[in-house]
Structure 1
Amino acid sequence: MAQKREAVIQVRNLYKIYRIGENRVRALNGVSLNIYKGEFCSIVGPSGSGKSTMLNMLAGLEKPTKGEIVISGTHLENLNESQLVRFRREHVGFIFQSFNLLGTMNAVENVALPLMFRGVPRKNRLEKADKMLDLVGLSKHKNHRPNEMSGGQQQRVGVARALVVEPEIIFADEPTGNLDSNTSAEVMELMKKIVREQNQTLVMVTHDNHLASFADRIFHIIDGKIVQIEDNRGKGEVVRK
């Protein structure tokens, strides 16, 4: 059961308040949750619900107004900007909606890029990128540039790039937003499979309830609050605030 597993992400009483003119907008309004190692979780909600703010907080891209975010024992809210950059580089992988691949590089080079920032020698990083592309089913597309691949293939490159740094946590922001429904399902199945096989922790933000349903647990967020938690592993858990 999840309760016996290690909580890799702990969020306690998290608030994010923006000042817009005279008004205060509560993007996050007292969120608390645990996410466990090896778990695929989705945060789902309509536009403006606070889900993207939540992801940015968890990834250390935005500072909370109040509350705690503990990832692998580190309190993110206490880190300065350079410490946050180092933390992301060492612990986190990102999958983006827009793929964010460099058009001048082939698939292997795109996947190897994060390793370059870590100072990994070229030969080593290309070998590792090569293996990751095998893992995501792109053995025949390693030398292709983004404009020579379909959207689904490009997003598989994006998944491989997130995995190549062996992150403790992968954050995915609307990862299939630019794909058709069949390709979206394929990418979701791939992400689910990799989380299982690599014992990774994946946190995905989406507005799409169907895509959210691929996850082990679904956090429904409305107006900056978690209003419901669905457990897809058999035991339903519902939280009302």
Structure 2
Amino acid sequence: MEQEQQPIIQVSNLYKIYKVGTTKVYALNGVDFTLGKGEFCAIVGPSGSGKSTLLNMLAGLEKPTKGQIVIAGTHIEKMTERQLVTFRREHVGFIFQSYNLIQTMNAWENVAMPLTFRGVSKKVREPKAKKYLKLVGLEKQMNHRANEMSGGQQQRVGIARALVVEPQIIFADEPTGNLDSKTTMEVLKLMRTIVRERNQTLIMVTHDNHLASFADKQIHIVDGKIWKIEENLHPPDEKCEEDNGK
């Protein structure tokens, strides 16, 4: 395989089996797919389908029962917990449904948190955090505390916090689950635009087929198996215009 053809994520024969008494429960039942650098992928399925389990495994938060997960050329299923912590810190950003902001801190301090954990000095981390808040359209809210902001603004802070570490891969678990439909569209477009411009890979878990349609690739998962993989043939911005015109 030529170097430029290397996918950023390769998953093969992935299983996660839980024992409930004497019964085996297959949360993931032989999953295979690849994702390229710069792709926006939605993992979509109903509650209990295995999509969150899959996200947790890709992020190194859960170990597979068997199978392989290769991210940026590294087998993460073979890593120790300490290696996984380092891997996540260096390669991964997270966007959460519940924002996970620290209420007593203002916006830029929340964005700077991952840099603080890395030992980056305040002189460096403050301007960097503010740069990413500008990127997500929050110039005027930099000194606002989390509880002074709307849900949409808090989620934008969450996106800036994920981006500030310049990750190769961003994982978003139901990132618009607490937002109204208008704000959801704004946040989705923002996420998609930013990762495109930076050639980052975004993996979003959602139960909503409409939201999944904004992704370049949709992986539909049911009962721990991939039911189908769809490539999005619509130019997404045209799609947004159509949706807004309804």
Instruction: Decide which moves more: 156-165 or 225-234.
Output: 225-234
- SS at 1:12 equivalent: strand
Letter matched to residue 61 of structure 2: L
Q: How many residues get paired? A: 232
Ranges in structure 1 where 5+ consecutive residues have no aligned partner: 236-241
The separation in 2 between residues aligned to 1:82 and 1:233, in whole angstroms, is: 41
CA RMSD of aligned residues (A): 1.1
Q: TM-score, normalised by structure 1?
A: 0.94
The answer for the alignment partner of 1:141 in structure 2 is 141
1:21 Cα deviation from its structure 2 partner: 1.1
Structure 1 counterpart of 2:214: 214
- Give the deviation of 1:22 after TM superposition: 1.3
Shift of 1:233: 3.1
The code of the aligned residue for 1:143 comes to N
- Output aligned runs, 1:183-222, within 5 Å: 183-222=183-222
What runs of 5+ residues in structure 2 fail to find an aligned partner?
236-246
User: 1:112, 1:23 → 2: CA distance?
Assistant: 45
- The residue type equivalent to 2:159 in the other structure is V
State the distance in 2 between where 1:225 and 1:66 align: 14
- In the TM superposition, residue 5 of structure 1 has moved relative to its aligned partner by 4.4
Question: C-alpha offsets along residues 56-83 of structure 1, whole Å, 9 cap, x if unaligned?
Answer: 0000000000000000111011001111
Opposite residue 41 of structure 1, the aligned amino acid is C
Partners of 1:141 and 1:197 in 2: how far apart? 24
1:58 paired residue number: 58
- How far 1:197 sits from its partner (Å)? 0.9
State yes or no: 1:44 paired with 2:55.
no
Partner of 2:103: 103
- Tell me the residue number matched to 2:225: 225
3-state SS of 2:126 partner: helix
Alignment-derived partner of residue 93 in structure 1: 93
2:140 maps to amino acid: K
The whole-number CA distance in structure 2 between the counterparts of 1:216 and 1:139 is: 30
Q: Give me the whole-angstrom Cα distance separating, in 2, the residues matched to 1:24 and 1:219.
A: 24
Which residue of 2 is the match for residue 171 of structure 1?
Answer: 171
* 1:124 matched residue in structure 2: 124
Name segments (4+ residues, structure 1) moved above 2 Å: none
Shift of 1:234: 5.3
Alpha-carbon offset, residue 198 of structure 1: 1.1
> AA paired with 2:171?
F
Report percent identity of matched pairs. Answer: 72
CA deviation after TM superposition for structure 1 residue 123, in Å: 1.1
In 1: Cα distance, 2:196 partner to 2:110 partner: 24
SS in 2 for 1:204: strand
Which TM-score applies when normalising by structure 2? 0.92
What do the CA deviations read for 1:166-185 (whole angstroms, capped 9, x no partner)?
A: 00100000000111111111
1:10 aligns with 2:14: no
Whole-angstrom distance in 1 between the partners of 2:103 and 2:66? 40
Aligned AA (1:179)? L
In 1, the alpha carbon distance for the partners of 2:42 and 2:5 equals 18
Counterpart of 2:48 in 1: which secondary structure? Answer: coil
- Whether the 8 Å CA contact 1:5–1:37 is kept in 2: the answer is no
- Partner of 1:159, secondary structure, is helix
User: Partners in 1 of 2:123 and 2:108 — Cα distance?
Assistant: 12
CA distance in 2, matches of 1:191, 1:233: 19
Deviations 1:177-208 (A, max 9, x none): 11111111110000010011111100000001
Secondary structure at the aligned position of 1:7 is classed as: coil
SS of corresponding position for 1:185: helix
Query: Structure 1 residues 5 and 179 mapped into 2: Cα distance closer, same or farther (>3 Å)?
Result: farther
**CA distance in structure 2 between the partners assigned to 1:10 and 1:115 by the alignment:** 28
